[in-house]
C-alpha cells in the first residue's frame, strides 16, 4: 500500500472531486426552498430555513468526525498500516454512533434551546419542530457518513466522496419532489426525503468500505487474535479523542466568529444585513473551491507523515498551496469582473444593491486573503497537530474581537469587514508560528 506520486495533477485529481461535491450541496437547499416556497405559505419557507440552519450548526459542530478521521487514516495509509486503518475507521464509526444516539435522547432540549435562540413566530417554530422531529432520526447515519467521508479522504479517494455526495443530494432532491409536489406531504416530506437519503447513502458507503477493507487485507499483516482489544486500544482511543476534542474547540470558535459577524451586521439595520448576507454568499462560493485544496492537503500531508517522508511532506504542502493560491487569484478576478452583475441578479432592491457594491472590494480581496488559513488548516489536520490548531484559533478569535472593537466605531460596516479579513490573516499567521512542529512530526 503506497501513497501516490505527488505532482500538480495528482493534487488536482484529489481536490476537484471535492470541489464538485461541495458545489452540489447548495442545489439541494435551492430545491428544498423551491418545493416549499410553492406551497403558498410564507411561514413554511421560514420553517425550513430555521430547521436547516439548526442542523447545519449541529452537524458542523461535529465536523471533527470527518476531519479527525482524515488525519488519522491518512497517516496510517502513508505508513502502510492496514490494521490501523481498519481500527481507526471503526473507532470513528463507534464514536459517531454514540454521539448520534445521544442527540436522539436529547432531541427535546436541543430543539427547545435552538428555538429560544432563533426566536421565530409561532407558526414558523411549529413547522421547524415538525421537520426537526423527523430529521433528527437521521443523526446516527449523518454522523457515520461524516466519519466515512474522512476515511475515503484519508485514502486520497476523493472520487468516492463525490459519488456519495451526489447520491445523497440526488436522492434527496428526487424524494423532495415526490413527497412534496406529488404526495403533498409538506415540510414533513422534505424531512423524510433527507432522512431516507442519509440512510441510503450510509448503506452504499458501508458497502464501499467493506470492499476497500477486504481488498486491503489481501497480502497485509494478519488480523490480531483479539481484534476487539486492538480496536479498543486505550492509547489509540485517547489520541482519537484528543484530536477530535481539539478540532471541536476550533470549530466552535469558528462558528462563534461567523455568528458574531452576522449578528453585528444585523445591528446595523436591514439594508446592511441584506448586503452582508449577499456578499457572504460569494465568500461561501469561494470556500467551495478553496476547501478542495485544503482537503487535498489533509490527505497528502497525513500520508507523507505516516510514511515519514520529508520530501513528500514538503511537496504536498508546496504543490497544494500553489494550486490553491492560483485558484484564489482566479476567484478574486471573477468577483472583480462579475461581482456587480451577480449582486444585481441576487436582489432587485436598489438600496441593497448600492450597499453591496460599496462593500464588494472586501469580497474581491477575501479569496486571496483567506486561502492561507484554509491551506494551513488542512496541513495541520493531516498532521493531526490539532492542539496547535486549537491554540491558534483561540488566539485568533481574541485578536479578531479586539480588532472589531477598535474598528467598528470609526469605520462602521467597513470596520466589520476589515476585522473579518484580518481574522483570516490572524488564523494564518498564528498557524505559521506552529508550522515547524509539523515538519518535526517526521524525526
What is the secondary structure of 256-293 as a DSSP string?
HHHHHHHHHHHHT-HHHHHHHHHHHHHHHHHHHHHHHH
pLDDT per position as a tens digit, 247-273: 999 999 998 998 898 888 778 787 888
> Are 163 and 189 in a shared domain?
yes
311 Cβ neighbours under 8 A, 6+ residues apart: none
Q: In terms of Cα–Cα distance, which of 121, 123, 122, 141 is closest to 55?
A: 141
Residue 135 placed within a domain: yes
d(CA 300, CA 312): 8
Residue 306 placed within a domain: yes
Residue 332 placed within a domain: yes
pLDDT at 118 over 80: no
Q: In terms of Cα–Cα distance, which of 151, 133, 134 is closest to 202?
A: 151
> Are 48 and 63 in a shared domain?
yes
pLDDT at 22: 83
With cell 481507526, the residue in question is: 88
Mean pLDDT of 103-112: 96
> Are 243 and 117 in a shared domain?
no
Residue 172 placed within a domain: yes
With cell 490494521, the residue in question is: 83
pLDDT at 21: 87
Asked if 395 contacts 428 with a C-beta cutoff of 8 angstroms, the reply is no
Asked if 295 contacts 158 with a C-beta cutoff of 8 angstroms, the reply is yes
> Are 150 and 260 in a shared domain?
no
DSSP assignment, residue 180?
I
> Are 222 and 284 in a shared domain?
no
Report the percentage of the chain scoring pLDDT > 70: 94
Final residue of a structural domain among 232, 264, 289: 232
Structural domain harbouring 412: 239-443
C-alpha grid cell, residue 310 = 520529508
Residue 128: φ, ψ to 5°: -65, -40
Asked if 425 contacts 400 with a C-beta cutoff of 8 angstroms, the reply is no
Q: In terms of Cα–Cα distance, which of 67, 191, 190, 180 is closest to 138?
A: 191
d(CA 407, CA 400): 10
d(CA 177, CA 34): 10
Domain count, the chain: 2
Final residue of a structural domain among 194, 212, 232: 232
Asked if 240 contacts 92 with a C-beta cutoff of 8 angstroms, the reply is yes
pTM summary value: 0.92
pLDDT at 104 over 50: yes
> Are 177 and 33 in a shared domain?
yes
Q: How confident is the model at residue 381 (pLDDT cuts 50, 70, 90)?
A: very high
pLDDT at 348: 83
Residue 9 placed within a domain: no
> Are 211 and 341 in a shared domain?
no
pLDDT per position as a tens digit, 160-194: 999 999 999 999 999 999 999 999 999 999 999 99
C-alpha grid cell, residue 197 = 437519503
pLDDT at 271: 85
pLDDT at 387: 95
pLDDT at 258: 86
> Are 28 and 137 in a shared domain?
yes
Residue 1 placed within a domain: no
Work out the angle at residue 319's Cα, subtended by the Cα atoms of residues 315 and 322, and round it to the nearest 5 degrees.
Answer: 145
> Are 39 and 188 in a shared domain?
yes
Cα-only R_g, the chain: 22
Q: Rounded mean pLDDT of the chain?
A: 90
pLDDT at 3 over 50: no
Final residue of a structural domain among 208, 232, 256: 232
pLDDT at 326: 97
> Are 227 and 243 in a shared domain?
no
> Are 316 and 202 in a shared domain?
no
Report the percentage of the chain scoring pLDDT > 90: 69
d(CA 230, CA 232): 5
> Are 243 and 348 in a shared domain?
yes
Residue 140 placed within a domain: yes
Residue 17 placed within a domain: no
Q: How confident is the model at residue 39 (pLDDT cuts 50, 70, 90)?
A: confident
Residue 241 or residue 47, greater confidence: 241
Amino acid at each position: 500500500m503506497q501513497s501516490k506520486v505527488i505532482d500538480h495533477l495528482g493534487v488536482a485529481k484529489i481536490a476537484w472531486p471535492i470541489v464538485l461535491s461541495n458545489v452540489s450541496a447548495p442545489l439541494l437547499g435551492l430545491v428544498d426552498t423551491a418545493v416549499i416556497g410553492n406551497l403558498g405559505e410564507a411561514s413554511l419557507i421560514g420553517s425550513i430555513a430555521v430547521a436547516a440552519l439548526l442542523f447545519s450548526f449541529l452537524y458542523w459542530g461535529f465536523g471533527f468526525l470527518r476531519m479527525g478521521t482524515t488525519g488519522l487514516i491518512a497517516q496510517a495509509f502513508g505508513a502502510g498500516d492496514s490494521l490501523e486503518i481498519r481500527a481507526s475507521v471503526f473507532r470513528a464509526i463507534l464514536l459517531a454512533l454514540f454521539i448520534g444516539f445521544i442527540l436522539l435522547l436529547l432531541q427535546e432540549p436541543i430543539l427547545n434551546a435552538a428555538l429560544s435562540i432563533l426566536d421565530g413566530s409561532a407558526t414558523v417554530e411549529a413547522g421547524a419542530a415538525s421537520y426537526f422531529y423527523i430529521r433528527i432520526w437521521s443523526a446516527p447515519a449523518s454522523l457515520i457518513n461524516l466519519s466515512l467521508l474522512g476515511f475515503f479522504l484519508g485514502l486520497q479517494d476523493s472520487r468516492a466522496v463525490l459519488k456519495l455526495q451526489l447520491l445523497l443530494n440526488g436522492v434527496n432532491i428526487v424524494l423532495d419532489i415526490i413527497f412534496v409536489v406529488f404526495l403533498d406531504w409538506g415540510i414533513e416530506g422534505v424531512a423524510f426525503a433527507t432522512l431516507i437519503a442519509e440512510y441510503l447513502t450510509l448503506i452504499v458507503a458501508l458497502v464501499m468500505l467493506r470492499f476497500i477493507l477486504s481488498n486491503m487485507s489481501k497480502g497485509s499483516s494478519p488480523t490480531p487474535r483479539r481484534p476487539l482489544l486492538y480496536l479498543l486500544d486505550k492509547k489509540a482511543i485517547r489520541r482519537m479523542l484528543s484530536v477530535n476534542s481539539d478540532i471541536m474547540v476550533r470549530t466552535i470558535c469558528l462558528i462563534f466568529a461567523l455568528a458574531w459577524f452576522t449578528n453585528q451586521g444585523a445591528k446595523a439595520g436591514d439594508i446592511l444585513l441584506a448586503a452582508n448576507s449577499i456578499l457572504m454568499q460569494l465568500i461561501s462560493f469561494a470556500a467551495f473551491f478553496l476547501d478542495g485544496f485544503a482537503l487535498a492537503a489533509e490527505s497528502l500531508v497525513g500520508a507523507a507523515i505516516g510514511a515519514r517522508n520529508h520530501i513528500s511532506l514538503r511537496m504536498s504542502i508546496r504543490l497544494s498551496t500553489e494550486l490553491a493560491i492560483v485558484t484564489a487569484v482566479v476567484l478574486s478576478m471573477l468577483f472583480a469582473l462579475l461581482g456587480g452583475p451577480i449582486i444585481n441578479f441576487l436582489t432587485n432592491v436598489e438600496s441593497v444593491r448600492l450597499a453591496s457594491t460599496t462593500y464588494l472590494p472586501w469580497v474581491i480581496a477575501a479569496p486571496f486573503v483567506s486561502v492561507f488559513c484554509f491551506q494551513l488548516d488542512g496541513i495541520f489536520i493531516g498532521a493531526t497537530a490539532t492542539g496547535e490548531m486549537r491554540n491558534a484559533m483561540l488566539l485568533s478569535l481574541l485578536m479578531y474581537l479586539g480588532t472589531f472593537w477598535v474598528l467598528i466605531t470609526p469605520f462602521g460596516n467597513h470596520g466589520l469587514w476589515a476585522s473579518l479579513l484580518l481574522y483570516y490573516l490572524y488564523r494564518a499567521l498564528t498557524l505559521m508560528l506552529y508550522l515547524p512542529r509539523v515538519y518535526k512530526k517526521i524525526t
